[in-house]
Amino acid sequence: MNLPASVPESPQPVLSLVLPAALDGRDGTNRARGGHRQIAADRDVDAVRLWLAEYAGSPHTLRSYRKEAVRLLLWATRALGKPLSSLTREDFLLYERFLAAPSGDWTDPARPRRGIARRLFDGPLSERSRHQALGIVSGLLSYLVSAGYLAGNPLALRRRTGAAARHSPRVERYLDHALWDHVLVSVEQWPRLTTRDHQHYERSRWLIRLLYHTGLRVSEAAHAKAADFYQRRGKWWLHVVGKGGTEGEVPVSAALMADLARYRVFHGLAPTPSENEMAAAMMSVAGDPRRHLTPAAVYLIVKEVFRRAADMLGPSDPAGAATLRRASTHWLRHSAASHQADAGTDLRFIQKNMRHASIQTTGIYLHAEDDRRHSETVREDESAVAPDVQRGRRS
């Protein structure tokens, strides 16, 4: 039987996990009793599926949130013998300690990556990763409270500690100006002996410039169309569909438009995209305009760019090379915001460019004041540094 077009598809595919009937949450001690329920789900897995379905339009976010939900569901049922909907604040204190030191079967490399007996951890989570994991879980619990499924969110009682309680963080996963310049120079050294080499070079060259100059997320870049570049009042903009289908627009420089024209002309297309053109902004390596890259392909190309740049830099700057080997696609977004802040761009404009919901999020990219404080503090000491140490620094 075919469903009417107005009936939405089931969100079930976003999470395939079966828990024992005794631990499915139907009798959870933190279940809301009475009141008007906003969801029909009566088991924990079904309720979590509905929460995950809210992020179906953001594949990267969905993967991250699903991972944390699965970790919590399996830990609660396997380690405590309790359903998610029975967890208390005391249980979450245990869970936070567990995240800092998972062991045994949880980290056994012989276990599969899928199924009820899967391995969920490669090792202990850092303080930052634990904070992120618990933030995601708290968002899940708050959703279930709002839905009338849970009576309360145990993590709402969690006290902020450490660095998070003392000050706003600074983003560290970005490239400073010298490292970014090195990446650009290193790409120009790539061999172009064969047609495939040349195609790969041109696509990689365009991709890193697109990500850096627009601050796009990896999924946004993968799905961008050439027609998303448009002119208004003689200035170029890029229309972006971001997290949760939120739309925005990003200013585009003349230099980036020149890079786009170069990439398109290389593949036999007109320098400037037409208004109704359906070609991908980032095409297959051979330049098929009908084929978009996947987010995974974008990630792998950028990782290769950074790896090659690190290999070139290694002999003269091991620390810089190590940074490049850690870098990934999202570092280019962080670098874009950080470099805009360094240039004195108004914080409100950076917020709009990055499409942050809160200007407090944008504030973590302000590094210039820290740099100035450092320079003012160590200025007198710099003259006493040995000449050979000075020469060893990366300019």
DSSP 36-49: --S----SHHHHHH
What is the model's pLDDT at position 393?
A: 41
The two tokens of residue 73 are 């569901």
329-342 helix and 177-187 helix, angle to the nearest 10 degrees: 130
Dihedral (CA of 285, 288, 289, 292) sign: negative
Residues ≥6 apart with Cβ < 8 Å to 93: none
The one-letter amino acid code at 191 reads P
CA distance 81 to 24: 11
CA distance 83 to 21: 10
What is the model's pLDDT at position 343?
A: 76
What is the model's pLDDT at position 10?
A: 40
Question: Alpha-carbon Rg of the chain, whole angstroms?
Answer: 24
pLDDT by 10-residue block (mean), the chain, 395 residues: 39 66 92 84 92 80 86 91 94 92 78 67 84 87 90 80 46 80 94 94 96 90 91 91 79 92 95 88 90 90 95 91 91 85 77 69 55 54 46 43
The DSSP bridge partners found for residue 235 are 232
Residues ≥6 apart with Cβ < 8 Å to 327: 173, 175, 306
Per-residue burial over 252-274, b = 16 or more CB atoms within 10 Å of its CB, e = otherwise: beeebbebbeebbebbebeeebe
Our measurement of the distance from residue 386's CA atom to the centroid of its chain's CA atoms, rounded to an integer in Å, reads 41
What is the model's pLDDT at position 163?
A: 43
For the chain, domain boundaries: 12-166, 177-371
Q: What CATH number does domain 177-371 carry, 3.40.50.300, 1.10.357.10, 1.10.443.10, 3.40.1170.10?
A: 1.10.443.10
CA distance 102 to 269: 53
Judge whether 339 and 176 are in contact, CB under 8 Å: no
